[in-house]
Amino acid sequence: MDDREGSFVAVRRISQGLERGSVYNSSSAEGVPGSAAWLGRGLSCVCAQRRDSDTNSTFDLTPAQEESLQSLQNRIDVAYDSTIPLHQEALKDLWKLAFPEEELHGLISEQWKEMGWQGKDPSTDFRGGGFISLENLLYFARNFQKSFQDLLRKQVGDRSVWEYPFAVAGINLTFMLIQMLDLEAVKPRTVVGATFLKFLSAENESAFDLLYCIAFKLMDQQWLSMRASYMEFNTVMKSTRRQLERELMLEDIMHLEDLPSYALLSQ
């Protein structure tokens, strides 16, 4: 696979849910070419679109907000490194949480395709989201196990014949949130980014991870309501982003748990 153009892999669904080993790439006779939302040309990134008016101002932060933002940015800056034991163990933990009944044969294995990675080595997919994208998946699996399993195994709703790959979609969501919240700027340059910081504090360092879980469930709901298939992935991501932005801007939201879409995690 060309490092510049990863392929978006579609997972074919059968009546019993996620078919083991049914992941196809663009070179397959049954596969359909494209690219993940943060890779290549087929599904161009829906995340890095900033309105011109958003770049004309910045928002002042309190010392506590600056500290919390810096801590989150430090996480974002960590690239996934397959040679680091901590990263290796985190990836193994994700497998155990996803498939506790199935022993993993190795960090490079065809088994990873069952989770929706593009190939047998998940490390090649992390360049779009870094180590934090793995942390997001782990947080989701540990804190909302039922929702995590429902999305992984595509157990809820009238699913498409060709489904989005779970793990790659998760990395796309991490990247989308980083861009939406303008988290790589020294200070937020968007109202949405500034609004998010009120949820991020020393007492709630997991705010980004929680928003990720909400976004994942919301994305899946949008997928189902739009009766989408893999070619509509970017459209679904755009719709998810717009809905999240609207909810974050609601006046009566004091905690992320107050977001209307948070209720999806209990379904």
Look up residue 85 and give its two tokens: 């034991």
Q: What mean pLDDT is predicted for residues 12-30?
A: 34
Specify the pLDDT at position 255: 92
pLDDT > 70? residue 2: no
The candidate with the shortest Cα–Cα distance to 136, out of 84, 192, 80, 190, is 80
Q: What mean pLDDT is predicted for residues 190-199?
A: 92
Residue 134 CA to residue 147 CA, distance in Å, equals 17
Specify the pLDDT at position 21: 34
Residue 206 CA to residue 194 CA, distance in Å, equals 17
User: CB neighbours of 136 closer than 8 A, spacing ≥ 6?
Assistant: 129, 170, 173, 174, 208, 209, 212, 213
Residue 167 CA to residue 246 CA, distance in Å, equals 26
Q: Could you state, in order of their start, the residue ranges of all structural domains in the chain?
A: 64-266
pLDDT > 70? residue 129: yes
pLDDT > 80? residue 235: yes
Element (H, E) at 13: strand 10-14
Using pLDDT thresholds of 50, 70 and 90, give the confidence band for residue 30. Answer: very low
Specify the pLDDT at position 61: 85
- Mean pLDDT of the residues in the chain: 81
Specify the pLDDT at position 151: 95
Main-chain phi, psi angles of 97, to 5 degrees: -70, -35
Q: What mean pLDDT is predicted for residues 141-165?
A: 90
Query: Can you give the pTM of this predicted structure?
Result: 0.81
Q: What mean pLDDT is predicted for residues 136-148?
A: 97
Specify the pLDDT at position 159: 79
Specify the pLDDT at position 56: 56
Using pLDDT thresholds of 50, 70 and 90, give the confidence band for residue 178. Answer: very high
DSSP letter for 62, please.
Answer: -
Percent of the chain with pLDDT over 90: 63
Q: What mean pLDDT is predicted for residues 225-248?
A: 94
Task: Name the 3-class secondary structure at 18.
Answer: strand
Percent of the chain with pLDDT over 70: 78
pLDDT digits (tens, 9 = 90+) for 202-231: 568 899 999 999 999 999 999 999 999 888
Please answer whether residues 91 and 134 qualify as being in contact, where contact means their C-beta atoms are separated by less than 8 angstroms: yes
Using pLDDT thresholds of 50, 70 and 90, give the confidence band for residue 256. Answer: very high
pLDDT digits (tens, 9 = 90+) for 58-111: 788 888 888 999 999 999 999 999 999 999 999 999 999 999 999 999 999 999
Higher pLDDT, 113 or 50: 113
Alpha helices in 99-190 (DSSP H): 130-143, 145-152, 166-180
